[in-house]
Chain A
Amino acid sequence: MPPSPKRTGLVFFPAFDWAISPTHPEREERLLYTRDQVLEEGLLDLDNIVEYRVRPATFEDIQRVHFCVPDEASVTTESHLISAGGCLVAADAVMNREVDNAFALVRPPGHHAMRVVHGNRGFCNINIEAVMVEHIRRTYGVKKVAIVDTDCHHGDGTQEIYWHDPDTLFISLHQDGRTIFPGTGFPNEMGGPNAVGATANIPLPPQTGEEGFAVVLEELVMPLLERFQPELVINSAGQDNHYSDPITDMNFSARGYAALNARLQPDICVLEGGYAVESALPYVNVGIIMAMAGLDFRNVREPNYDREYRPQSPDVTQNVDRLVSRLRQVFLKGKYEAPSHSPGEVLERKREVFYDTDGIFERQRELIRVCRDCAGALGVESAASTGNHVFAVRIPPNACPACRRTAESWFEQAAEGTFTQVFLQDRDRDTFERA
């Protein structure tokens, strides 16, 4: 069946004047060759591709998601705000029906940034997808959103932000955490007590290729989406599963990424990682744009594809097939042990977070009120090696009165304590307070 053209919005922000450091992979040149390839292909001249200008996100946009310690200005640069703002532009274009779908080709990325931000983790400070999703919810009243993270690294930041949210289905496909940063993303991570099953991790064996991704998409991702019935599908489109990526060990291709997007049909794509800036990104991005725009992408491939792409090996195929049938049982047939908690109970979990880029160590104690009426009151005590020791409280959208009372009492108690700062993020009233 010939693909039918769609109107695709493109928000391109290569930040040609910003880098983490002069030789860091997240540097000025990263989208240079992508820009070259997109221009040379003439994609911007197509009537159904519309390019948009970025705008910076505001601190209010950030505060719907994050608790920035000590404040937003200290942990973000203009570039982070523009990258997040690029996603907002893409979202507005889609939600206002100016386009059928949109691709935010922006940097720096965001999917390792968690709810509490003390600094940079995995090249990320601000979770640009989450900022976008919460903007969409606030502005357009959308409830159910699915985020499919196809970056090679587990999207641990996005997972953590949506861990307790039953209205956000987070699916992450990534190289098995036992072999790569950040070392998480296993199938037993399925969401918090109020959102069990809204997180689905699919850790793929190293060297998974085009066939493996296609099987996972067809047998796991699409059925999960079918069951969840999201109003919007977002692809966290990291591109480091590519066979030429220097910091990962996968075997995916430009054509594979294009086919994945043609099948997934995301409403919005957001660029995440991917550091094969010359050999992968130009072709992967062209493939994704063409797939989103409904163009025939059969002629898209890396110039060295015939020489350098090796088809998926039989043992990888076997491992992927085994994984898929096991996870189908868990995710789709419900074969897992659901923890039983009574409503009103407050559960505690402790965790440690390492900010690899900035070398910060953080200890967290998290409180969640088990609730069947809303996503639950959330409290996070966070002490970082920077000396900051904060308590952050979140009231979810459409909070029930009991969770609101609980959250407010946590905030009042904490404000009288010895924390360096106390935050209250009230998503029901869209306000943000510090004490």
Chain B
Amino acid sequence: MPSSDALPLILGLDVGGTQTDAVLVSCDGVVASAVKVPTRADLPATLRKAVDQTLSGTGPDRISRMAFSTTMATNAIVQDRLDPAGMIVSAGPGMDPQGFAVGPSYHVVEGCLDHRGYEARPLSKEAVLAAAAGIRDQGIQALGLVSKFSVRNPAHELCMAEWVKEIFPHPALGHQVSGHLNFPRRIATTYLNAALRETHERFVRALLGILEERDLRAPRYLLKPDGGTVGLEESLGFPARTAQSGPAASIMGALALDPCPGTTLVLDVGGTTTDIGLIYRGAPLLEPYGIHLGPYKTLIRSLQTRSVGIGGDSEVRAEPGRPLRIGPLRQGPPAALGGPAPPPTDAMIVLGHLDAGDKETARRALEPVAAALDLDVLKAASAVLDRMAELIADSVGAFLHYINARPVYTVREVLEGVTIEPGHLVLLGGPAVQLAAPLESAFGLPCSVPPHAEVANAIGAAVSRVTCEITLHADTVRGTVVVPEAGIDQFIDGEFDLDQGMIMARQSLEKAVSGAGGAEDDLEITVTEQQSFNMIQGFSRTGRNIRLNLCVTPGLIPGWPRRS
């Protein structure tokens, strides 16, 4: 179905490990063009090529929105190409803060806040200045400042920033990366933001250059691992938030292309990995703590996903009397395309499910596998695909067990006992169609392969809305309310209650959304925490301790038609 020429188009792009997918979709849900180009080491060159191929003559004025899921931050982290960044940390009693050391110049200074945000020990200005000078003398230009419990009271981090501003005018501050508690993760996340700042800025400038050369001036976004987007320019302050967005692109693609009823399991089968995600009642499932990036555990919000090392090009090992083993290594391309050994893709070719390369070569390559299994080649090819589906199903089982075994902290939640149990499967990625039947029988679930499943990730990036999260903590005894992500730290009186907190939290979230390049109206908000505790001294109430966590639910941009 050709899209109407009048309708504006959205450019969506997802950089994968081996291939980069790009699409043009019209905002009524029609895919106007889709291309795949090989991913090269030079990221801007890859982007340039993908953009040009997918546009292929479409006028830049027809493009109303552009969104990119890139591997820039991820690669910098996992390939250890981070900029040197110094860290100054104040901790106080507890776990030894030296155990959380990151980067080439990590300094612990005296100073301590308690869990309420009260100062238990003042910061040592002398130590902060000495640490900053030491970092500068190492020739380091990026700095992160973190104190324990800074999300309860950002004073120590702000104070450190003020003291060092002559040397480091733009340090990354711990309380701004997330309102959640977790000091080691706050340190790691702040460090990554500091250490990615320059690389990310260069990348953003390069991408802007590419877009401007082509006169592409529509709003532009980067995808985040939580399935939401952030404005390209607005991402500069928190570059680590754009890392590892690939799995989120696929899951958002499933949401864009499939009705995703009830609890839907999303599988994106790639060359060497399969990404697993879940959609529950129309929204993707979020990970409660934060994403792992290389060796770093962070506070960066992410969808609940898991990658398993099994894909179309995974190595297949057959030994007589033992179950087939598949992955996690890849020996090369399929034998039919000149590779050294037959991965599952060759089995698909032999079975006639896939028309690629030389079928006879694939057949010959599978013969040793057939011999080891004591089957004819066709049956062996089916056995490979069945085994692949079975291994994926095992991983999904473990993933679901992990999710359902998650602790809960209230009587209500124990009694409600919500269990995540998918009733439907959405299959995405290159080998999706070929695997539908084996996966359907391995899972015992109906399985759909939506149209454009092979570029669902790029479509997911294209149509995901801006997301944000804010955390509010009010303590009427200490007389403060703090919303760290929104820079709020102000005095309140004893009358401050949950309703006032909710108003402030909503306003903060709206402000955060507009600061991230989104529109403030009509936000779909999820309240993930809403608690007001009485604080007691002796046997009488002295105040309230209020905790709120609000986020924009990851979802599709307004106007994109939900499939039914």
Query: Is the CB–CB distance between B95 and A23 below 8 Å?
Result: no
Q: Give 3 nearest A-B pairs by CB, closest first.
A: A303-B120, A42-B184, A39-B181
How far, in whole Å, are A36 and B471 apart by their CA atoms in the complex?
14
| B95 CB contact (under 8 Å) in A42, A53, A79, A282 | A42
| A278 CB contact (under 8 Å) in B116, B405, B412 | B116
A17: B residues at CB distance < 8 A = 410-412
B114: A residues at CB distance < 8 A = 303
Can you pick out 9 interface pairs between chain A and chain B where the beta carbons lie within 8 Å of each other?
Answer: A16-B410, A23-B541, A39-B181, A40-B115, A45-B289, A53-B407, A56-B414, A78-B411, A78-B415
How far, in whole Å, are A43 and B184 apart by their CA atoms in the complex?
9
Q: 0/1 per residue, A149-160, Cβ < 8 Å to B?
A: 000000000000
Query: Is the CB–CB distance between B409 and A28 below 8 Å?
Result: no
Chain A residue at minimum C-beta to C-beta distance from B97: A299
Whether A36 touches B181, Cβ cut-off 8 Å, given contacts A45-B297, A299-B95, A303-B92, is yes
Interface set, chain A 28-84, CB cutoff 8 A to B: 28-29, 32-33, 35-37, 39-43, 45, 51-56, 78-79, 82
Whether A302 touches B96, Cβ cut-off 8 Å, given contacts A25-B536, A40-B149, is no
Q: 0/1 per residue, B75-106, Cβ < 8 Å to A?
A: 00000000000000000111110001000000
| A35 CB contact (under 8 Å) in B148, B409, B535 | B409
Interface set, chain A 300-315, CB cutoff 8 A to B: 300-305
How far, in whole Å, are A282 and B116 apart by their CA atoms in the complex?
11
Whether A29 touches B96, Cβ cut-off 8 Å, given contacts A12-B407, A42-B182, is no
Nearest CB of chain A from residue B535's CB, rounded to whole Å: 7
| A299 CB contact (under 8 Å) in B94, B406, B410 | B94
Chain B residue at minimum C-beta to C-beta distance from A277: B536
Nearest CB of chain B from residue A222's CB, rounded to whole Å: 28
Query: Is the CB–CB distance between B536 and A54 below 8 Å?
Result: no
B407: A residues at CB distance < 8 A = 11-13, 51-54
How far, in whole Å, are A290 and B185 apart by their CA atoms in the complex?
18
A246: B residues at CB distance < 8 A = 538
Interface size on A, residues (CB 8 A): 50
How far, in whole Å, are A33 and B533 apart by their CA atoms in the complex?
11
Interface set, chain A 229-259, CB cutoff 8 A to B: 246
Q: 0/1 per residue, A84-106, Cβ < 8 Å to B?
A: 00000000000000000000000
Query: Is the CB–CB distance between B95 and A41 below 8 Å?
Result: yes
Check if A27 is an interface residue, CB within 8 A of chain B: yes
Query: Is the CB–CB distance between A300 and B93 below 8 Å?
Result: yes
B384: A residues at CB distance < 8 A = none
Check if B545 is an interface residue, CB within 8 A of chain A: yes
Query: Is the CB–CB distance between B534 and A22 below 8 Å?
Result: yes
Nearest CB of chain A from residue B128's CB, rounded to whole Å: 19
| A28 CB contact (under 8 Å) in B96, B112, B181, B533 | B533
B116: A residues at CB distance < 8 A = 33, 278
Check if A18 is an interface residue, CB within 8 A of chain B: yes
Whether A53 touches B93, Cβ cut-off 8 Å, given contacts A40-B115, A40-B148, A42-B183, is no
Whether A16 touches B120, Cβ cut-off 8 Å, given contacts A52-B407, A54-B407, A299-B96, is no
Nearest CB of chain B from residue A316's CB, rounded to whole Å: 25
Question: Besides A82-B411, A303-B121, 13 other CB < 8 A contacts?
Answer: A13-B409, A15-B409, A15-B410, A25-B539, A27-B536, A29-B533, A36-B115, A39-B181, A42-B182, A53-B405, A300-B93, A303-B114, A304-B120
Interface set, chain B 38-58, CB cutoff 8 A to A: none
Query: Is the CB–CB distance between B414 and A78 below 8 Å?
Result: yes
Check if A14 is an interface residue, CB within 8 A of chain B: yes
Nearest CB of chain B from residue A162's CB, rounded to whole Å: 29
| B545 CB contact (under 8 Å) in A25, A32, A53, A78 | A32
Q: How many A-B residue pairs have CB under 8 A?
A: 115
How far, in whole Å, are A246 and B116 apart by their CA atoms in the complex?
19
Check if B540 is an interface residue, CB within 8 A of chain A: yes
Chain B residue at minimum C-beta to C-beta distance from A39: B181
Query: Is the CB–CB distance between B182 and A40 below 8 Å?
Result: yes
How far, in whole Å, are A23 and B112 apart by their CA atoms in the complex?
30
B183: A residues at CB distance < 8 A = 40-42
Check if B503 is an interface residue, CB within 8 A of chain A: no
Check if A366 is an interface residue, CB within 8 A of chain B: no
How far, in whole Å, are A52 and B182 apart by their CA atoms in the complex?
19
Check if B18 is an interface residue, CB within 8 A of chain A: no
Check if B6 is an interface residue, CB within 8 A of chain A: no
Query: Is the CB–CB distance between A15 and B536 below 8 Å?
Result: no
A288: B residues at CB distance < 8 A = none
Chain B residue at minimum C-beta to C-beta distance from A24: B539
How far, in whole Å, are A286 and B185 apart by their CA atoms in the complex?
18
Check if A381 is an interface residue, CB within 8 A of chain B: no
* A interface residues (Cβ-Cβ under 8 A, vs B): 11-18, 22-25, 27-29, 32-33, 35-37, 39-43, 45, 51-56, 78-79, 82, 246, 278, 282-283, 286, 290, 295-296, 299-305
Interface set, chain B 409-424, CB cutoff 8 A to A: 409-412, 414-415
How far, in whole Å, are A324 and B453 apart by their CA atoms in the complex?
75
Check if B1 is an interface residue, CB within 8 A of chain A: no
A35: B residues at CB distance < 8 A = 409
B184: A residues at CB distance < 8 A = 42, 45
Chain A residue at minimum C-beta to C-beta distance from B533: A29
| B406 CB contact (under 8 Å) in A32, A37, A53 | A53
Chain A residue at minimum C-beta to C-beta distance from B149: A40
Query: Is the CB–CB distance between B545 and A29 below 8 Å?
Result: yes
Check if B531 is an interface residue, CB within 8 A of chain A: yes
Query: Is the CB–CB distance between A43 and B538 below 8 Å?
Result: no
Check if B408 is an interface residue, CB within 8 A of chain A: yes
A301: B residues at CB distance < 8 A = 93
Query: Is the CB–CB distance between B541 and A286 below 8 Å?
Result: no
Q: Of residues B95, B96, B184, B541, which shows the largest number of chain A Cβ atoms within 10 Å of its Cβ?
A: B95
Nearest CB of chain B from residue A137's CB, rounded to whole Å: 25
How far, in whole Å, are A117 and B268 apart by their CA atoms in the complex?
56
Chain B residue at minimum C-beta to C-beta distance from A14: B409
Q: Of residues A25, A53, A305, which shows the largest number of chain B Cβ atoms within 10 Å of its Cβ?
A: A53
How far, in whole Å, are A33 and B406 apart by their CA atoms in the complex?
20
Nearest CB of chain B from residue A84's CB, rounded to whole Å: 12
B533: A residues at CB distance < 8 A = 16, 28-29, 32
Nearest CB of chain B from residue A377's CB, rounded to whole Å: 38
Chain B residue at minimum C-beta to C-beta distance from A10: B407
How far, in whole Å, are A14 and B412 apart by their CA atoms in the complex?
12
Q: Of residues B149, B536, B538, which shows the largest number of chain A Cβ atoms within 10 Å of its Cβ?
A: B536
Query: Is the CB–CB distance between B94 and A286 below 8 Å?
Result: yes
B297: A residues at CB distance < 8 A = 45
Chain A residue at minimum C-beta to C-beta distance from B292: A45
Query: Is the CB–CB distance between B414 and A82 below 8 Å?
Result: yes
Chain A residue at minimum C-beta to C-beta distance from B410: A17
| B536 CB contact (under 8 Å) in A18, A29, A300 | A29
How far, in whole Å, are A246 and B407 apart by their CA atoms in the complex?
30
B414: A residues at CB distance < 8 A = 54-56, 78, 82
| A283 CB contact (under 8 Å) in B93, B406, B531 | B93
How far, in whole Å, are A25 and B406 apart by their CA atoms in the complex?
28
Q: 0/1 per residue, B518-540, Cβ < 8 Å to A?
A: 00000000000001011110111
B120: A residues at CB distance < 8 A = 303-304
Whether A299 touches B185, Cβ cut-off 8 Å, given contacts A22-B534, A40-B115, A52-B407, is no
How far, in whole Å, are A40 and B299 apart by their CA atoms in the complex?
12
Q: Of residues A15, A42, A55, which shows the largest number of chain B Cβ atoms within 10 Å of its Cβ?
A: A42
A45: B residues at CB distance < 8 A = 182, 184-185, 289, 297
A29: B residues at CB distance < 8 A = 533-536, 545
Nearest CB of chain A from residue B106's CB, rounded to whole Å: 16
How far, in whole Å, are A435 and B408 apart by their CA atoms in the complex?
39
Nearest CB of chain B from residue A134's CB, rounded to whole Å: 22
How far, in whole Å, are A55 and B545 apart by their CA atoms in the complex?
28
Query: Is the CB–CB distance between A15 and B411 below 8 Å?
Result: yes
A14: B residues at CB distance < 8 A = 409
How far, in whole Å, are A55 and B115 apart by their CA atoms in the complex?
29
| A18 CB contact (under 8 Å) in B182, B405, B411, B545 | B411
